[in-house]
Chains A and B, each alone.
Chain A
């Protein structure tokens, strides 16, 4: 991926860039005001296109990414290998969390950094049916079959067990996808989920549910965090700041209009997913109220992670067996610069 790249892909992308430039020159449709052109923006989402990403939908719809200098935005649906997508350069920004990213930095020597976070708290839960396994305490997990999505969520689940001193061999991990159907038809006893998402979906189907929240069981951490490579920070700093700025503007719209955010998920971005409308409205509203906005963001702006919060995340990681420093995992300087240059974004 170096600038002196000899690879085919390097050659092809140079050629494409040259063609795109000449096309721009020919049609004369270069951006009127800003000269910045950061090309296409690929964002690897952590989940399917539901209300979780309403801020990004607003930023696309209202042209914030275009104004910031991106020619096109591709929101790539998850669940996916977010860290690997970012490392391979397929996505400039990936949406993940410190618990899934830290092991990649530590074990694979991957130069990844978190430059901001959407959720100040994490809504991860082990969801179970009240009349089924009814997993209410951490010890109830022992001997159960838990549906866990392959990939970053497995790291979260391993961390939950480790932080609570439960031997991983005492719990059976079953591969599932994003649909909580295996829980309802009793293939699994518990299901790794968001309390703002699947928990509501299953409840809406008429089941009483029990939630075992990660945040209450030794794993408080931020999530929906923006993961990028150190190389991008070094060479594409302005593009990343443009991304942050546009996304902040999108989330401000999402906070102002939670129903609108849910509508975008239901009717546009997640149209073919058959999303549950009640849940989308509920999730969009709830996440804004308790996850995206806190005292911290009211004071210092959206996406910020306070020093205390960073310390809490590092402590959580440590209890899960990952010793990492703040500098290895977080780089909040880009967001600080964005707010410095655009003080009006804070309010």
Chain B
């Protein structure tokens, strides 16, 4: 309990530090780049837009329903991406042949910019949830895959031999030795994938579905609705920072439980 509250305290202070840094960068950029106040809004403008203007309630509905949509899209992408990454990593660990056959495809998905593939993906999968899942998964898959494979391979020869001596087969070794020892890499993958999934969701909303924050920002920029643009950016940034720190908190607790030294994140 004591350690948990310590960790909570650390996470909260980390989150606060991130927020302060972002706010300082925000104000500094507005000042240094001499942005006109019609385009460059400051934190107070955004606060007023959301909580302290005649249309504040409408504005909140607009911004938060878009945020909900984006979170939904991001979770779909995250879920599919992590699921595939984990499954494929297990296959890769079990068989070198499969890895050699499939890795180039994963590389290809990674190296062709998603924005270039988008029209084809939209033509094949339409403009609904399926495309959200596919595009989100593509963003999440590769970095997660590389990390998880690395983690599963991090079993030391000594541990491998020990398990073998006790009569374990490949699957048992994977379950009892490789999975636990891959946990730090797995969490590293999750930490990369959370912001990745949000980026993927924004992209798919902009290019395909026309809903959520990804489209809202493009649309509002195009119509010079500066306050709305900044409000979108603020909420999505806050949520990203928050989610990242929550994952970090879970990571520390789980790793501590499994006896890993807490990673410095």
Contact = CB atoms under 8 A, between A and B. Distances in A.
A152 B222 contact: yes
Query: Chain A contact residues (Cβ within 8 angstroms of B): what range?
Result: 20 to 34
A170 B8 CA distance: 47
Nearest to A158: B223
Q: Which of B31, B38, B209 has the most CB of A within 10 A?
A: B38
B51 to A, nearest CB: 18
Contact of A187 (B31, B38, B127): B127
B122 to A, nearest CB: 7
B42 to A, nearest CB: 14
Interface string A167-207: 00000011100000000010100000000000000000000
B261 interface: no
A150 B215 contact: yes
A206 B224 CA distance: 38
Contact of A81 (B122, B127, B210, B224): B224
Q: Mostly helix, strand, loop or mixed at chain B's interface? A: helix
B224 A9 contact: no
A181 to B, nearest CB: 8
B35 interface: yes
Interface in B211-251: 215, 218-219, 221-227
A155 interface: yes
A84 B227 CA distance: 12
Contacts of A173: 210
Interface string A94-125: 00000010011001111100000000000000
A347 interface: no
B2 interface: no
B34 A110 contact: no
Nearest to B217: A150
A89 interface: yes
A89 B34 CA distance: 11
Contact of A151 (B32, B36, B210, B221): B221
Contacts of A155: 223
Nearest to A88: B39
Nearest to B219: A150
Nearest to A87: B38
B219 A154 contact: yes
Contacts of B226: 84, 108
Contacts of A109: 38
A7 interface: yes
A83 B223 contact: yes
B45 to A, nearest CB: 11
B34 A7 contact: yes
A81 B36 contact: no
B36 A152 contact: no
B106 to A, nearest CB: 29
A8 B34 contact: yes
Given A81-B223, A100-B223, A107-B225, A87 B36 contact: yes
B24 interface: no
A5 interface: yes
Interface string A139-174: 000000000001110110000000000000000011
8 contacts: A81-B224, A83-B224, A84-B222, A84-B224, A89-B36, A108-B38, A151-B221, A175-B208
Which 6 A/B pairs are nearest by Cβ-Cβ distance? A151-B222, A7-B34, A83-B224, A175-B210, A104-B224, A84-B224
Interface of B: 31-36, 38-39, 122-123, 127, 206-210, 215, 218-219, 221-227
